[in-house]
């Protein structure tokens, strides 16, 4: 009986094989071939355990482990022929292994199922992606640190509602993203720690009667321990969901920064100049330099968050343990991981190459009456006014300056004293933007000394 009339994988249970439509919807090899390295790594660990426990002979296992390396070499070399008739990466590898080493290949699947096999492969792959995301985040954090160190005392406007609020420093703004990305890094690290348990040996769902050593295979694959419940081991996809959740938050942070770069690089702001490597031109407007990389990063959150929602939706109604629905768990995660790594690399390149316009930043820092809060604080600190009264006095002075078409430091002492007679010449010492940022010395504040302290802390903490 050929595979066109019966499927050898399913044994004697089915008299007829799947038709073309069933084969197309059932096959996952088109995407899960990305798990080849992890699949072969897991199989080699499983085979070694089968020999150590006496379940298989040493000679069979030696042939299996060597043959698996041959198969991996063929896959990595691009010469491997994948077959949709064999459904997935597991059966493609096993079929080729049989061609390479013969009869011992059929013993490899002893004491395991494709259910625990795919759960192990996928967990290993997502673990690798968590490690890659951490490395990408650290590279971006180092690029931000370099920007922050260069402009630790450069003044710029701080915004609320995208309106000028108070002066801050360029270094302080860069360090805000270092803190955000550090939390992203910790989320990936936390998710990695939770996912680092091995499903291998749970078999189809109930464990196995063979005297396997799950602790041995867990250790061989770099897991901390085997999963403690076989039902949970084959049905859990929390590890992928946690990865997607962390990736979604990280992509959101990248999107926020990308939006700022789009705004800052505009002719209206001129805060930064992005390098030509991360910009494009216009087909009809020769003057244009478009921040396309930033705009694309800004959009990537849609794909990554979409993957998160998609997998949550797949998993939300599934009874224990395995259902074929779970074959839909990988494509979204593969795409989200690829998208995140590309966005991190592009953002790191943009930050590394971009040039901040110190003059434009400083000019903008003093606009919009950005030192009004400093004036109010002085009224409280020096004259002892209640803050609400100081707020009212300051608001009146802002209105006066606005009507006169000047900024607060350009009002005369006489004009200020017409609003509150207690104001003295000392008020002008707090109204300059440099004085303003220098005064914000509270922990985590924008004062250059505080910014430099945070830069030093992160330079020491980052590998």
Query: Tell me: the pLDDT tens digits for 153-207?
Result: 999 999 999 988 889 999 999 999 999 999 999 999 999 999 999 999 999 999 9
Cβ–Cβ under 8 Å, residues 224 and 196: yes
Cα 389 to the center of its chain, rounded Å: 46
**How many H-runs (helices) and E-runs (strands) does the chain carry?**
19, 6
Of 210, 218, 222, 347, nearest in space to 291 by CA: 347
176 in the same domain as 33 = no
Domain final residue, candidates 346, 363, 380: 363
Report the predicted TM-score, pTM, of the whole model to 2 decimal places.
Answer: 0.89
Percent of the chain having pLDDT more than 70?
94
In sequence order, the β-bridge partners of residue 156 are 168
Alpha-carbon separation of residue 338 from 53, 124, 165, 221, 333 (angstroms): 39, 16, 38, 23, 8
373 in the same domain as 338 = no
For the chain, state the CA radius of gyration: 31
In a domain, 197, yes or no: yes
In a domain, 329, yes or no: yes
Q: What is the pLDDT of residue 286?
A: 47
Catalytic residue, from 161, 209, 283, 442: name it.
161
In a domain, 218, yes or no: no
Sign (positive or negative) of CA dihedral 324, 329, 330, 331: positive
Q: Which run of H or E residues covers position 245?
A: helix 238-264
244 in the same domain as 306 = yes
250 in the same domain as 158 = yes
In a domain, 92, yes or no: yes
In a domain, 4, yes or no: no
- Asked about 282 being catalytic, the answer comes back as yes
347 in the same domain as 316 = yes
Model confidence at 23, pLDDT cuts 50, 70, 90, reads: confident
148 in the same domain as 77 = no
329 in the same domain as 248 = yes
Q: What is the mean pLDDT of residues 57-75?
A: 97
In a domain, 14, yes or no: no
Catalytic residue, from 57, 83, 282, 323: name it.
282
In a domain, 342, yes or no: yes
371 in the same domain as 355 = no
Of 41, 34, 35, nearest in space to 69 by CA: 41
Return the percent helix, strand and coil in the chain, to nearest 5.
70, 5, 25
Percent of the chain having pLDDT more than 90?
79
In a domain, 173, yes or no: yes
Helix ranges restricted to H, 151-237: 170-195, 214-220, 230-235
Model confidence at 1, pLDDT cuts 50, 70, 90, reads: very low
Q: What is the CATH number of the domain that holds 135?
A: 1.20.200.10
Q: How many CB atoms lie within 10 A of CB 231?
A: 15
76 in the same domain as 133 = no
Q: In this structure, what token pair is assigned to residue 259?
A: 């939006």
pLDDT tens for 211-259 read 999 999 999 999 999 999 999 999 999 999 999 999 999 999 999 999 9
- When divided into structural domains, the chain yields a total of 3
pLDDT tens for 395-453 read 999 999 889 988 888 889 999 999 999 999 988 888 889 988 999 999 999 999 999 99
Q: What is the CATH number of the domain that holds 82?
A: 1.10.275.10
284 in the same domain as 143 = yes
142 in the same domain as 48 = no
What value, to the nearest 5°, has the Cα angle with vertex 15 and ends 11 and 18?
Answer: 85
191 in the same domain as 88 = no
């Amino acid at each position: 009986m050929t595979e066109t009339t019966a499927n050898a994988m399913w044994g004697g249970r089915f008299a007829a094989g799947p038709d073309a439509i069933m084969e197309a919807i059932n096959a996952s090899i088109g995407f899960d071939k990305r798990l080849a390295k992890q699949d072969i790594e897991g199989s080699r660990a499983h085979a070694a355990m089968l020999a150590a426990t006496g379940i298989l002979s040493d000679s069979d296992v030696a042939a299996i482990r060597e043959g698996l390396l041959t198969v991996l070499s063929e896959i990595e070399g691009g010469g491997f022929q994948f077959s949709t008739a064999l459904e997935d990466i597991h059966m493609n590898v096993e079929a080729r292994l049989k061609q390479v080493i013969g009869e011992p290949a059929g013993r490899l699947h002893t004491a395991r199922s494709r259910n625990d096999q795919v759960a192990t492969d996928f967990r290993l792959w997502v673990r690798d992606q968590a490690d890659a995301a951490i490395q990408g985040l650290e590279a971006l954090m180092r690029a931000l640190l370099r920007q922050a160190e260069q402009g630790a005392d450069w003044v710029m406007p701080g915004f609320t509602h995208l309106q000028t609020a108070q002066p801050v420093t360029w270094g302080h703004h860069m360090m805000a993203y270092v803190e955000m990305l550090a939390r992203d890094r910790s989320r990936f690290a936390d998710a990695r720690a939770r996912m680092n348990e091995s499903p291998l040996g749970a078999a189809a769902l109930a464990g196995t009667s063979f005297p396997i050593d799950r602790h041995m295979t867990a250790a061989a694959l770099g897991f901390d321990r085997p999963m403690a419940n076989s039902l949970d081991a084959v049905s859990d996809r929390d590890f992928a969901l946690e990865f997607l959740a962390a990736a979604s938050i990280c992509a959101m942070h990248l999107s926020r920064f990308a939006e700022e770069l789009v705004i800052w690089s505009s002719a209206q702001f001129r805060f930064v100049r992005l390098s030509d490597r991360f910009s494009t031109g216009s087909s009809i407007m020769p003057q244009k330099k478009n921040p396309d990389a930033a705009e694309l990063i800004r959009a990537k959150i849609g794909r990554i968050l979409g993957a998160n929602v998609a997998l949550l939706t797949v998993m939300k109604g599934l009874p224990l343990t395995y259902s074929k629905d779970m074959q839909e768990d990988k494509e979204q995660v593969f795409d989200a991981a690829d998208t995140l790594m590309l966005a991190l690399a592009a953002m790191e390149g943009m930050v590394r190459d971009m040039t901040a316009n110190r003059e434009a930043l400083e000019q903008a820092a003093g606009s919009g009456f950005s030192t009004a809060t400093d004036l109010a604080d002085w009224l409280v600190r020096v004259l002892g006014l209640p803050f609400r009264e100081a707020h009212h006095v300051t608001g009146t002075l802002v209105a006066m300056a606005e009507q006169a078409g000047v900024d607060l430091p350009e009002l005369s002492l006489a004009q200020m004293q017409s609003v509150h007679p207690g104001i003295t010449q000392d008020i002008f010492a707090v109204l300059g933007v440099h004085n303003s940022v220098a005064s914000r010395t509270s922990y985590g504040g924008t004062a250059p000394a505080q910014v430099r302290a945070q830069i030093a802390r992160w330079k020491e903490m980052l590998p």
